């Protein structure tokens, strides 16, 4: 994916202001930055949220213009966004939801629907990897889940859908250390040559478990500093101010 | 404008009196007719008819009363199913209840029962008690009565299906009496399935004695030109329990009044309902729950899904008497408006006369949640599919509350069929 000079506004306020970023296959990028720097807006823009208005710039993804693709087309082309605040949908079971999503992807690729047996086998396996209780699979989507359980559920969806580019918005917030480890296990199990990650995070805690290839600092809608994983450590020590001031 | 029922004209003068040749019933009908003449026709000026224009219904009702059509259903009854261990089917067609084979002893009809006394006693009592014009119209026009009366300690596993159907324009006035004796239980499933512009005016009276349990389901799936009126009066004694689930697809006018009196300690009622009108259909729900004794519980959850130019009304009233201490009551009405032209009028009301209560009431209405839509789309699900999933999930939440697995499955399948 290649993002060029992107400007995005929400409710007529510019949030992303000239952002450039290239993510190649197999790479893990982390975006850090203070509150209000535009991290979540970037994630939402990539997923196609209707409230993000593109002012200028371009994004190409697998040789296509991303803006030509609808929200669901982006998903079916392999873009996955893990929500900072996953949505509760009572009345729709987690299992039925995952099956609908998986079959939508299969349909878009011209494949046949997954069989119930294969689906359940894979679902159970993935739930085990991230330490999710089977009982959660039959409950309404995120209904009454704790913050940590919701985040685990995002990772479960990601594992089932096998995206090419995973954008995880603050997936580490609200997780205790054990949950963080299991979530990281899930993520690491998916690292492949042909998949890439964009991790959006406040702190470097998650980055202790998943080592990023690149770390970027976002401020006022622009990337003001990029580096390797050691940049995250520096930020942990010094905060953001030393960068923002320069 | 004449605000009283004009029954001196030719159209209703003799109607109903010759439908069944029983002296006591003729007498009852004469008295009812006399009373009906003194009653006012409801209009939009009445608070409880404010959001439902009753005029076309009354017009149609009188027009059909003069006609007296007979449907084809009577001649051959291919639709009638045989009873099985788990299901008993009773049909109401052309003015009487019919069935294949023998009915169990706890089900009787006025036309076939040798015991007229019990019908006479109960109907007389009913007519005395209920004073609405439509209840009187039902009495005036009734030509059969179905009575379900359990024995003490009798637990009935079967589902009693009562199917009200017609394929021609008719006035249909089903009358149902349910008596649950002490410590007994039963499951009743009423289906209203007409395929023409009928006027249904049904009246149901239910009395649940100590420790009894009634599991009660209702589907109203009528033709667009039809009119549906129903009034259920339910009385719950000590430790008795009513579970009611209803699904109303609407009609030209569909109006359902349910009055429940919790008259003794520890009685409880659980009401869950979906109303799902399309086109220009109209559904009006009117509920009155009276907590008249201590430690009673009531829970109401009514959900509307309104499409196109359909309209809905929710009028829910929970009354808690001074002596009804330790009352628990929760009333909810949530509505999903799927088009700009769909409309809902909702009014949940609490009237409480003591302080020892836990009562809540709420009403919401809105369109599909954009955040939920985006969440589903971001997982690759197309917009129209995502919308259907959300509508289904909204309805499923209510269906999931059904405890009986067979009934739950029935309504789950019905939902899938309705959303196709």
Assign A88 a pLDDT band (cuts: 50, 70, 90): very high
Encode B334-377 in three state secondary structure: EEEECCCCCEEEEEEEEEECCCCEEEEEEEEEECCCHHHHHHHH
Give the chain A residue nearest B412 (alpha carbons).
A91
Restricting to B residues 370-389, those with a Cβ less than 8 Å away from any Cβ of A are 370-372, 374-383, 385-386, 389
Neighbours of B398 (CB within 10 A): 20
- Distance CA(B257)–CA(B228), nearest Å, equals 11
Q: Computed from CA positions of residues B32, B33, B35, B39, in that sequence, does the dihedral angle turn out positive or negative?
A: positive
pLDDT of residue B70: 56
Q: Which two tokens stand for residue B338?
A: 């799927």
Instruction: Give the whole-number percent of chain A exceeding pLDDT 90.
Output: 71
Neighbours of B270 (CB within 10 A): 17
What averages of pLDDT result for each successive group of 10 residues across chain B (420 residues)? Answer: 49 49 82 83 84 83 66 50 80 84 90 86 82 85 92 95 85 93 97 84 96 96 84 97 95 94 98 95 96 98 97 97 97 97 96 96 96 97 96 95 93 89
3-state secondary structure of A197: strand
- Distance CA(B120)–CA(B125), nearest Å, equals 8
Average pLDDT for A85-89: 95
Q: Cα A115 vs. chain centroid, distance in angstroms?
A: 27
Q: Computed from CA positions of residues B376, B378, B383, B385, in that sequence, does the dihedral angle turn out positive or negative?
A: negative
pLDDT of residue B65: 67
Tell me the whole-structure pTM to 2 decimals: 0.90
- Distance CA(B315)–CA(B333), nearest Å, equals 9
Q: Computed from CA positions of residues A165, A167, A172, A174, in that sequence, does the dihedral angle turn out positive or negative?
A: negative
Least Cα separation, residue A75 to chain B (angstroms):
5
Cross-chain residue pair B393–A50, CB shorter than 8 Å: no
Residue B319: strand pairing partners:
B290, B351
Least Cα separation, residue B240 to chain A (angstroms):
29
pLDDT of residue B77: 46
Residues of A in contact with B375 (CB under 8 A): 83, 86-87, 89
User: Which string of b and e fits A56-65 if b means at least 16 CB within 10 Å?
Assistant: ebebebeeee
* Owning domain of residue A153: 2-245
DSSP B3-68: -B---SSTTTSSTTTTSS--HHHHHHHHHHHHHHHTSBPP-TTSGGGTTS--HHHHHHHHHHHHH-
Classify residue B251 by its DSSP letter: B
- Distance CA(B376)–CA(B360), nearest Å, equals 32
- Distance CA(A82)–CA(B19), nearest Å, equals 69
pLDDT of residue B69: 55
Q: Is this prediction's ipTM beyond 0.90?
A: yes
Cross-chain residue pair A104–B375, CB shorter than 8 Å: no
pLDDT of residue B2: 42
User: Given B370, B374, B393, which is nearest A92 (Cβ)?
Assistant: B393
Q: Residue A31 contacts by C-beta under 8 Å, 6 or more apart in sequence? A: A39, A42, A198, A199, A200, A201, A215, A216, A217, A218, A223
Q: Residue A3 contacts by C-beta under 8 Å, 6 or more apart in sequence? A: A19, A20, A21, A22, A57, A58, A59
Q: Which two tokens stand for residue A160?
A: 């089932």
**B50: nearest Cα among B284, B350, B230, B290:** B284
How far from B377 is each of B322, B367, B385, CA to CA, in Å?
Answer: 52, 17, 9
pLDDT of residue B239: 98
Q: Where are the alpha helices (DSSP H) in chain A?
A: 39-47, 71-76, 94-108, 116-129, 135-138, 147-161, 177-189, 230-238, 241-245
CB pairs under 8 A between A and B: 76
- Distance CA(B13)–CA(B175), nearest Å, equals 21
Q: Mind listing the pLDDT tens digit for each residue in A159-180?
A: 999 999 999 999 888 788 888 8
Domain count, chain A: 1
Cross-chain residue pair B374–A75, CB shorter than 8 Å: no
Cross-chain residue pair A75–B371, CB shorter than 8 Å: no
Domain boundaries, chain B: 68-370, 371-420
Cross-chain residue pair B393–A87, CB shorter than 8 Å: no
User: Given A76, A83, A90, which is nearest B375 (Cβ)?
Assistant: A83
pLDDT of residue A124: 94
Q: Which two tokens stand for residue B144?
A: 């059969």
Q: Mind listing the pLDDT tens digit for each residue in A110-164?
A: 999 999 999 999 999 999 988 888 899 999 999 999 888 999 999 999 999 999 9
Choosing among A40, A45, A69, A89, which should be mutated to test the B contact, i.e. which has the most B CBs within 10 A? Answer: A89
Q: Cα A108 vs. chain centroid, distance in angstroms?
A: 21
B192 and B229 in contact (C-beta within 8 Å)?
no
- Distance CA(A178)–CA(A175), nearest Å, equals 8
- φ/ψ region of B266 (left if φ > 0, alpha if ψ in -120 to 50, else beta) reads left
pLDDT of residue B208: 98
Least Cα separation, residue B276 to chain A (angstroms):
17
pLDDT of residue B66: 62
Q: In CATH, what number is assigned to the domain containing residue A229?
A: 3.40.50.300
Residue B108: strand pairing partners:
B147
């Amino acid at each position: 994916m290649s993002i060029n000079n992107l400007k995005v506004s929400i409710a007529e306020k510019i949030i992303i202001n000239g952002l450039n970023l290239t993510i190649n296959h197999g790479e893990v990028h982390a975006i850090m930055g203070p509150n209000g720097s535009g991290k979540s807006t970037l994630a939402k823009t990539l997923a196609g949220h209707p409230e993000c208005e593109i002012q200028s710039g371009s994004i190409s993804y697998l040789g296509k213009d991303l803006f030509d693709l609808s929200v669901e087309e982006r998903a079916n082309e392999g873009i996955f966004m893990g929500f900072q605040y996953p949505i509760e949908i009572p009345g729709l079971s987690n299992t039925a939801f995952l099956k609908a999503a998986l079959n939508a992807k299969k349909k878009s690729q011209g494949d046949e629907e997954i069989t119930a047996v294969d689906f359940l086998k894979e679902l159970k396996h993935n739930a085990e990897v991230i330490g999710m209780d089977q009982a959660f699979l039959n409950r309404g989507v995120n209904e009454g889940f704790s913050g940590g359980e919701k985040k685990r559920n995002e990772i479960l969806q990601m594992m089932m859908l096998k995206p090419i580019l995973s954008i995880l918005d603050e997936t580490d917030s609200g997780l205790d250390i054990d949950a963080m480890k299991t979530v990281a296990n899930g993520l690491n199990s998916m690292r492949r040559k042909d998949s890439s990650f964009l991790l959006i995070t406040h702190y470097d805690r998650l980055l202790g478990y998943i080592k990023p290839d690149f770390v970027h600092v976002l401020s006022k809608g622009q990337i003001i500093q990029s580096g390797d994983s050691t940049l995250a450590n520096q930020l942990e020590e010094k905060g953001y101010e030393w960068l923002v001031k320069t | 404008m004449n605000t009283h029922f004009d029954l001196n004209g030719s159209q209703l003068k003799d109607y109903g009196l010759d439908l069944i040749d029983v002296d006591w019933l003729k007498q009852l009908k004469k008295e009812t007719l006399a009373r009906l003449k003194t009653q006012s026709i409801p209009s939009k000026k009445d608070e409880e008819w404010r959001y439902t224009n009753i005029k076309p219904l009354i017009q149609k009702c009188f027009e059909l009363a003069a006609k007296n059509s007979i449907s084809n259903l009577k001649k051959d009854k291919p639709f009638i199913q045989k009873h099985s261990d788990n299901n008993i089917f009773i049909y109401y067609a052309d003015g009487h209840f019919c069935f294949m084979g023998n009915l169990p002893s706890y089900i009787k009809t006025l036309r076939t029962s040798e015991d007229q006394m019990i019908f006479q006693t109960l109907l007389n009592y009913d007519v005395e008690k209920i004073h609405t014009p439509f209840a009187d119209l039902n009495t005036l026009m009734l030509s059969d009565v179905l009575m379900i009366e359990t024995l003490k300690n009798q637990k009935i596993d079967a589902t009693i299906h009562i199917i009200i159907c017609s394929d021609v324009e008719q006035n249909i006035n089903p009358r149902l009496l349910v008596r649950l004796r002490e410590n007994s239980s039963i499951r009743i499933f009423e289906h209203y399935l007409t395929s023409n512009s009928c006027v249904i005016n049904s009246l149901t009276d239910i009395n649940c004695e100590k420790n009894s349990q009634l599991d009660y389901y209702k589907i109203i799936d009528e033709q667009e030109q039809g009119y549906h009126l129903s009034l259920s009066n339910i009385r719950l004694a000590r430790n008795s329990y009513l579970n009611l689930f209803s699904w109303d697809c609407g009609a030209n006018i569909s109006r359902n009044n349910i009055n429940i009196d919790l008259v003794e300690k520890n009685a409880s009622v659980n009401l869950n309902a979906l109303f799902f009108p399309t086109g220009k259909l109209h559904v009006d729900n009117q509920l009155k729950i009276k907590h008249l004794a201590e430690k009673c519980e009531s829970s109401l959850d009514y959900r509307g899904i309104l499409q196109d130019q359909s309209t809905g009304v929710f009028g829910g009233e929970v009354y808690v008497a001074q002596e009804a201490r330790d009352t628990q009551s929760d009333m909810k009405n949530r509505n999903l408006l799927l088009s700009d032209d769909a409309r809902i009028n909702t009014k949940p009301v609490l009237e409480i006369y003591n302080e020892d209560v836990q009562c809540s009431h709420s009403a919401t209405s809105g369109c599909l949640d954009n955040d939920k839509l985006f969440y589903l789309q971001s997982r690759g699900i197309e917009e129209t599919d995502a919308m259907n999933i959300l509508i289904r999930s909204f309805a499923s939440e209510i269906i999931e509350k059904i405890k009986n697995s067979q009934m739950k499955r029935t309504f789950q399948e019905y939902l899938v069929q309705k959303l196709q």
